[in-house]
Homo-oligomer: A and B are copies of this chain.
Amino acid sequence: MSYTLEEIARLAGVSRSTVSRVINHHPSVRPEVRERVWRIIREVGYQPHAAARNLATRRSQIVGVVIPETLPKVFSDPYFPAVLRGISDALIERGYHLMLSLLSPQQEEDFYQRALRGRVVDGIIVLSARITDPLIRRAYQEGLPVVSIGRYPQEPGVTYVDVDNVGGGRMATEHLLRLGRRRVATIAGPQTMAPGIDRLEGYCAALQAWGLSPLPEWIAEGDFTEAGGYMAMHRLLPARPDAVFVASDLMAVGALKALREAGLRVPDDIAIVGYDDVELARFTDPPLTTVRQPIYELGRVAVHLLLRQLEEGTREPQRVILPVELVIRSSCGALREFGAHELSSESFIGS
């Protein structure tokens, strides 16, 4: 049914080793022999057996992508497919396969043992929101190749790539300040997640750069959901803000609802800037000014960082931060004054 190297060798009148060399494009094979071998291979449709090759090379050419089960609920529509496409495209270009693992916390241990220690995969990319993801730490400590998508401050040696959440938060907030708003509040994300922490940091930095100090009553923590945004907005109302930077569009939708119920007009009474630029952001009333992130690129860069570890054996941690851009729509009230345009944060790459 299925051919082996040895059989191809016999058919081509050469040895097993020569066929192996041909397949692996090893230079030291006479052109005529190489041609003859390729012909036989094509003729019989020979395909080397992956497991045998993996065993001999101790490489599987498979990269694991780990997504904690809770994530897709939080990161809304474009995020998940876009980052996967970035990863997938980059892996295919480099001849790797993608093993996707959507894991609940209980399944992580088993995955770690079977897939990573059992060498089903050569390395993993973890899409973790949790700042203390145990899988990343463990893989890193055991010397298994791992890249985190999302900052990983817990363990300074871990290689990661992230979007510029601090810069995005700062940019969004400064945009509101520049429009003349002075009572700028924020609905922050959960302070257990790097994006939640970083976007809030950007907010605070912007205020301080304008000589304002971030007051506790202007900061409400949400959980990145619509309901969370709704409730957070209610907690913010007594402080009478004239603008709110909301750390996710989904929360912004909830906030808009709360404002509508409170009889406040957006952007006249209160300006809103969201974050993520989800599909929905174009359809809210009014359409959301928001921060767009290079999600696809995030995936591509993660792959490059991982393969650098795999193929070049780089052990020094790499850190890449990708720039984000402000997408101006109506909810911030800028359109009447400036016309639509986009702003972009600075990109910086460190190691």
Which A residues are closer than 8 A to B by beta carbons?
Answer: 45, 47-52, 54-55, 58, 60, 62, 65, 72, 76-77, 80-81, 84-85, 88-89, 92, 97-103, 107, 113-115, 117-120, 279-280, 283-284
Contact = CB atoms under 8 A, between A and B. Distances in A.
B49 A118 contact: yes
B102 A100 contact: no
A68 to B, nearest CB: 12
Contacts of A117: 45, 47
A115 B279 CA distance: 34
Contacts of A101: 88, 97-98
B92 A107 contact: yes
A213 to B, nearest CB: 37
Contact of A47 (B49, B103, B113, B284): B113
Nearest to A61: B120
Given A47-B113, A51-B54, A54-B54, 10 more contacts: A47-B117, A50-B54, A51-B55, A51-B58, A51-B60, A55-B55, A84-B100, A88-B100, A97-B115, A279-B280
Contacts of A99: 62, 97-100
A71 to B, nearest CB: 10
B47 A118 contact: yes
A84 B98 contact: no
Given A77-B279, A92-B107, A50 B100 contact: no
Given A51-B119, A85-B72, A98 B100 contact: yes
A267 B89 CA distance: 44
Closest 6 CB pairs of A and B: A51-B54, A77-B77, A51-B55, A47-B117, A100-B100, A88-B102
Nearest to A117: B47
A99 B63 CA distance: 9
